[in-house]
Structure 1
Amino acid sequence: MQSLNLLISTTCLFLLLFSMHLFFAKRGNKLLNILLSVIFFARFGQILTSLLFKAGQPHALAFFHQTFTPFYFAAPACFYLYITGFLQDQKHLQKVEWLHFVPTLLPIIHVIPWHLPVKTDWNLVGTQLAQNGYFSLKANTGLFPPYLHSIFRPLLVIGYLCATWIVVLRLKKKPQLLPESEGRTWIIFFLRVATFFQLLGLLPITFRSFHIPYINSYFIVLNCLALLIILLYTLHKPYIFYGYLLVAVDWTKKTASQQTDTDTVSVPLMAENPIQRPIAVKKINLLDAQLVDYAFAIKEIMEKEQLYLVHDFQIIDLAAKLNLPIHHCSFVINKQIGKNFRDWINGYRVDYFLKQYPVKSDKITIEAIASEAGFKSQATFYNAFKKETGLMPTAYFARELGH
Structure 2
Amino acid sequence: MDKFSLLGIITLVIVFIALLLAIFLFTVKTKNKVGNRLMGVYFTIFAIHISVFFYAKYIELPLVLNMLRDQIAFLSSPLLFLYVLSSVYSDFKLQPKHLLHLIPFAIEILLYAPGFYLASEEERIIFTNNFHSNPEVKFSSLYGFIVSITYLILIFMTLKKYKLLLLESYSNNNRFNYKWLYQLTLLLSFIFVFSTAKQIYKYVGDDIEVLNMMRIILTLLLLGFLSWIVLKSMYYPELFRSIDTKHLLVKNLIETSENKQTSDDKFIVQVEKLQKYMETEEPYLDSSLTIHKLANQLNLPFKDISILINHHIGKHFFDFINEYRIKKAITLLENPLNEKLTILEILYDVGFNSKSPFNTAFKKHTGFTPTQYRKKIS
Q: What TM-score does the superposition give when structure 1 sets the normalisation length? A: 0.52
Alignment partner of 1:220 out of 198, 203, 215: 215
Relative to structure 1, is the Cα distance of residues 184 and 212 closer, same or farther in structure 2, using a 3 angstrom cutoff? Answer: farther
- The equivalent of 2:364 in structure 1 is none
Q: Does 1:169 align with 2:160?
A: yes
Residue identity (%):
14
In the alignment, structure 1 residue 39 sits paired with structure 2 residue 39: no
Give the Cα separation in 2 of the matches to 1:27 and 1:170: 25
Cα–Cα, structure 1 residues 232 and 24, in superposed 2: closer, same or farther, change >3 Å? closer
1: CA distance between counterparts of 2:108 and 2:197? 23
Cα drift, residue 349 of structure 1: 8.0
Aligned pairs (5 A) from 1:85-234: 85-108=86-109, 110=112, 113-116=117-120, 119-121=123-125, 124=128, 137-139=132-134, 145-147=136-138, 149-176=140-167, 180-181=174-175, 183-207=177-201, 215-234=210-229
Q: Does 1:27 align with 2:39?
A: no
**Does the CA-based 8 Å contact 1:18-1:40 persist in structure 2?**
yes
Q: Distance between the aligned counterparts of 1:194 and 1:221, measured in 2?
A: 17
For residues 43 and 146 of structure 1, the distance between their equivalents in structure 2, rounded to whole angstroms, comes to: 20
RMSD (CA atoms):
4.2
Of 366-375 and 61-70, deviating more is: 366-375
Distance 1:235 1:14, change over 3 A: closer
Q: CA deviation at 1:46?
A: 2.9
Q: CA deviation at 1:150?
A: 2.1
Residue 138 of structure 1: how far off its partner (Å): 3.4
Which digits, 9 at most, give the CA deviation of each residue in 1:89-109, with x for residues without a partner? Answer: 343124433212222223455
Cα drift, residue 181 of structure 1: 2.2
Aligned position for 1:365: 304
Counterpart-to-counterpart distance in 1, 2:151 and 2:124: 30
Residues 252-303 of structure 1 show CA distances to partners (whole Å, capped at 9, x for unaligned) of: 69xxxxxxxxxxxxxxxxxxxxxxxxxxxxxxxxxxxxxxxxxxxxxxxxxx
Which residue of the partner structure matches residue 286 of structure 2?
A: 345
Higher relative contact order (CA 8 A, sep 6+): 2
Matches of 1:17 and 1:98, distance apart in 2:
27
The Cα of 1:168 is off from its aligned counterpart by 2.2
SS of equivalent residue, structure 1 residue 158: helix
- The one-letter code of the counterpart of 2:20 is L
More helix as a share of residues: 2
Match of 1:50 among 53, 63, 66: 53
How far 1:12 sits from its partner (Å)?
Answer: 1.4
Distance 1:204 1:85, change over 3 A: same
8 Å CA contact 1:23, 1:34 repeated in 2: yes
Whether the 8 Å CA contact 2:22–2:39 is kept in 1: the answer is: yes
CA distance 1:374–1:242, change in 2 (3 Å): same
Please tell me whether the aligned partners of residues 124 and 139 of structure 1 are also in contact (alpha carbons under 8 angstroms): no
Residue identity opposite 2:225 in structure 1: I
Structure-2 separation of matches of 1:201 and 1:147: 16
Shift of 1:48: 0.8
1:308-327 pair list within 5 angstroms: none
Q: Which amino acid aligns with 2:304?
A: T
Q: How many equivalent pairs are there?
A: 257
Task: Please report how far the alpha carbon of residue 68 of structure 1 lies from its aligned counterpart in structure 2 after TM superposition.
Answer: 2.4
Per-residue CA shift, 1:204-236, capped at 9, x if unaligned? 344468769672222321122223333444455
> Contact (CA 8 Å) 1:15, 1:40: kept in 2 or not?
yes
1:12 to 7, 11, 15: 15
Where does structure 1 lack aligned partners over 5 or more consecutive residues? 129-136, 244-248, 254-340, 376-403
